[in-house]
Amino acid sequence: MAESEDATTRWRRGHHWRLEGKRVVVTGSTKGIGLHVAREALNLGAHVLLVSRSDADLASTRDSLRAELGVPDAAVAHHACDVGTDEGRGTLVAAATALWGGSCDALVNNVGTNVRKPIGAVTAVEYETMFETNCSSCFFLCQAFQPLLEKGRASCVVNVSSVAGVTSSGTGVPYAMTKAAMVQLTRSLACEWAPLRIRVNCVAPWMTMTPLLREAVAKHPAQLDEVSVRTPLGRVAQPEEIACTVAFLMMGASSYVTGQCLTVDGGLSVNGFAGPCAPPGAPGARATVVAPLE
């Protein structure tokens, strides 16, 4: 009874909106969405293991997060590896095991890559690289981290898919295939792991203003207008908006959510009209831009 009362007390105090003490692994966490996921998790009280291929980038990111957020040194660790390889995944599991004594509370599969080409121009190497990085890494990291997640507290996995995995968005066929596979992996694994009390969910972002997108927009500024006019909210996402959704799926507040794909796309995937978004009575007019919530 005391255990139940303690849990109820914690719930009433709002602890379900925190990540206090949670041990979180975030792949691809030196830039873009992954960096913001790591920052948000740290802000909410988690301990984070940053993962990327570059040790120098990781060390720089770790130091800047510590300085910016004022978190203890022990709250942020890093490990350099290529999660697209068996060897890299093995070293990551070993690092997490050594860091947290063989348990982990949350795994965020964020790493990804894309080669935007018509299907006829995609090479076998490009195809295999996309599947290894986007899809295989997600599958095999879930597999490898299962023993650690089983020993964790209210454990969960959040896979970062894409709106390309749920609807056609012009991002290229192989990329869309890998992201769709991540969605189905999420659904199936959520059911398989439910008896273990490990939740599995994913988010499917639309275009997000990462450094990579800024570079692309600088070269092709018209692309941003084209994307915005076809998105009901009239703009691309900010990485913080995706990170907040990922954070929610790791919280106690989402404890009854599993097997779901939360599409964070400004309404793109439900915009049934193929043309530009427009208010009633103004066919073809551009929709009002809805700013991010503060």
Answer whether residue 221 shows pLDDT above 60: yes
Is 110 among the domain residues?
A: yes
- DSSP type of residue 75: G
Is 44 among the domain residues?
A: yes
Is 281 among the domain residues?
A: no
Please report the sign of the dihedral spanned by the C-alpha atoms of residue 127, residue 130, residue 135, residue 137.
positive
Distance CA 158, CA 77 (A): 20
Mean pLDDT of 233-258: 96
Query: In 3-state terms, the chain is what percent helix, strand and coil (to 5)?
Result: 50, 15, 35
Most confident of 5-14, 156-165, 206-215, 281-290: 156-165
Is 276 among the domain residues?
A: no
- From the candidates 100, 140, 145, 175, give the one annotated as an active-site residue: 175
Is 133 among the domain residues?
A: yes
pLDDT in tens, 107-164: 999 998 888 888 999 999 999 999 999 999 999 999 999 999 999 999 999 999 999 8
pLDDT of the residue at 220:
82
- Catalytic residue list contains 175: yes
Distance CA 71, CA 76 (A): 8
pLDDT of the residue at 294:
56
Is 233 among the domain residues?
A: no
Is 93 among the domain residues?
A: yes
Q: Residue 142's domain is classified under what CATH number?
A: 3.40.50.720
Least confident of 8-22, 59-73, 128-142, 183-197: 8-22
- Provide the domain limits for residue 29: 16-208+238-266
Rounded to two decimals, the pTM is 0.88
Structural domains counted in the chain = 1
Distance CA 51, CA 185 (A): 22
pLDDT of the residue at 3:
45
